[in-house]
Structure 1
Amino acid sequence: MKNEKLSTDEFNALEEIARGIKGKPSACVGRNSKRLSGIKFIKFERSGAIILTDAGRQQLFLRRCVMALRALADAPGAVADKDVALFLGKKSHIVATEDGFAITEKGRESLADIEAQGM
């Protein structure tokens, strides 16, 4: 997958599409649909529905992982999503503690690399 930098507005549009759009898409989705479609994160069905591609789902998951790492770097505690905790634990980025989870040195290094890339 290409390393595409998305704006907060573009992530908001992806999240809205992931939840499912009933009726007319919001202005946020409208503003960002051309670029998100161009980088293959969303696609338009024949019926007119807008859906996430596998790459779009992966991008949202990675964002949730980065946000969890940032939160744990600030203060150890719980991770909101079990799938994120499982993934970060398998990658040795976080460890379980009495109070929830804590970021490991490997996790801090990965987070520093992510921050250096401006993500």
Structure 2
Amino acid sequence: MSKAKVVVNIHYYEGALLETTRIYECLSQNKIIVSEESADMDEYSELLPLVDFVPVNDIQAMVEKVEHWVSSDVARKERNNEIRKGCADMPDMFPIISEIVFGTILSLMMIFIRLWDTSFSLIQI
């Protein structure tokens, strides 16, 4: 992927969800992405300025976007700069997600400890 000028994301089946893991990986490497729209695009509005979306099955639109980015070094470099800036402006979700995960694990541990204590007190009776 490091040598790619453009990454194309085409869905395997109709009504597919957006492949955000793949898209974020490409964006983290400052790659231009041309992707088909997805059923859940409204959940990822932060990607609209960073990814060139085309309608599903619109082959002509896909080809035109890819040709544009491949054929113009100047436009491609400008777009790479926009992507870099856009990614830098995105909120870092890792601290939020890790806090949620840590809180969930802590809660589950507390429940397990209470159940463990309860089971031993029942055995002793």
What TM-score do you get using the length of structure 1 for normalisation? 0.28
What TM-score do you get using the length of structure 2 for normalisation? 0.27
Kindly name which structure, 1 or 2, has the bigger radius of gyration based on alpha carbons: 2
| Structure number with higher relative contact order (C-alpha < 8 Å, ≥ 6 residues apart) | 2
* Structure ranking higher in helix proportion: 2
